[in-house]
Amino acid sequence: MKDIFKTYIHYISTKFPSIFLKYLRSQLQRSELRNSSLYEIVKLAHGAKNLDDLYKSIHQNINRLMYAQNIFIALHDENENSLTFPYYVDKYDNFQGTTEKFGESSLTCHCILEGIPILFDKKDLLDFDNATTDNDLDIKPQGTISEYWLGCPLIVGDKTIGAIVVQSYDKNHEISSEDRDLLSFV
C-alpha cells in the first residue's frame, strides 16, 4: 500500500506542474486574444467608414473569441418606441432592416430594459415559449428557438441604446457564462 501511495505521489508531482502550466498558457493565450480583439473593436469604432463595416468587423472579432455564427444587433429608438435590426446574421431567421414595436415581452427588449447581460438555454426559452401570460417575466421568444441565447445591452454613457445578441442552435457550441462576461466588454 505504501508503494502505491509513493507511486501516486510521484506521478502527481511530475504531471501536475505540466498540466497546470498548460492551463496557464491557454488562459494567457485566451486573454491575449480577448485583449487584441477588444482593441480592434475600439479601433474600428473610431475609424469605420460606415456602420455596416463596423457591425461586420465587430461580428468577426466576437467570432474570434466565442462561437458567434448567429448574431444580431438591435437598436432601440425611444422616440418611435421601436426596435430596429441593422445587422442580422442567422442560420434560420432574418430580421435585418426590419422595425418592430418595442415591447417588454421579447428577449431582446427584456435585455435592453434590464440593462444587464442575459444568458438563456433552450430549456429556459421553451419554458418562456410555453408559459401563459402569468409567468413572472412575461417573455415570449421570437423566431427560431435556439440552444443558447445570449443578449448584452449596448450602453453609451449611462443609456442603453440597444443590444447585441448571439445565438447557438447547436448543443456542441455552448454559450457559457464566460462568454456572457466576455461579450459584456464589447
Compute the average pLDDT of residues 25-48.
70
Which residue, 70, 57, 35, is CA-closest to 182? 35
Q: Span 50-183: which CATH code?
A: 3.30.450.40
170 secondary structure, DSSP code: -
pLDDT of residue 129: 72
Instruction: Give strand ranges (E) for 20-177.
Output: 70-77, 82-89, 99-101, 118-121, 148-156, 159-168
pLDDT of residue 161: 94
pLDDT digits (tens, 9 = 90+) for 6-22: 676 666 666 666 776 67
pLDDT of residue 35: 72
pLDDT digits (tens, 9 = 90+) for 43-87: 666 677 788 888 888 898 888 888 999 999 999 999 999 999 999
What is each CA distance from 94 to 3, 77, 85, in whole angstroms? Answer: 65, 20, 9
pLDDT digits (tens, 9 = 90+) for 120-174: 999 988 888 776 555 556 677 788 999 999 999 999 888 999 999 999 999 999 9
Contact 145, 129 (CB under 8 A): yes
pLDDT of residue 38: 67
Show me where the domains of the chain are located.
1-47, 50-183
What grid cell was written down for 114? 434590464
What grid cell was written down for 72? 444580431
Q: Is the dihedral of CA 174, 89, 41, 61 positive or negative?
A: positive
CA 12 – CA 25 distance, rounded (Å): 19
Which residue, 109, 92, 110, is CA-closest to 147? 92
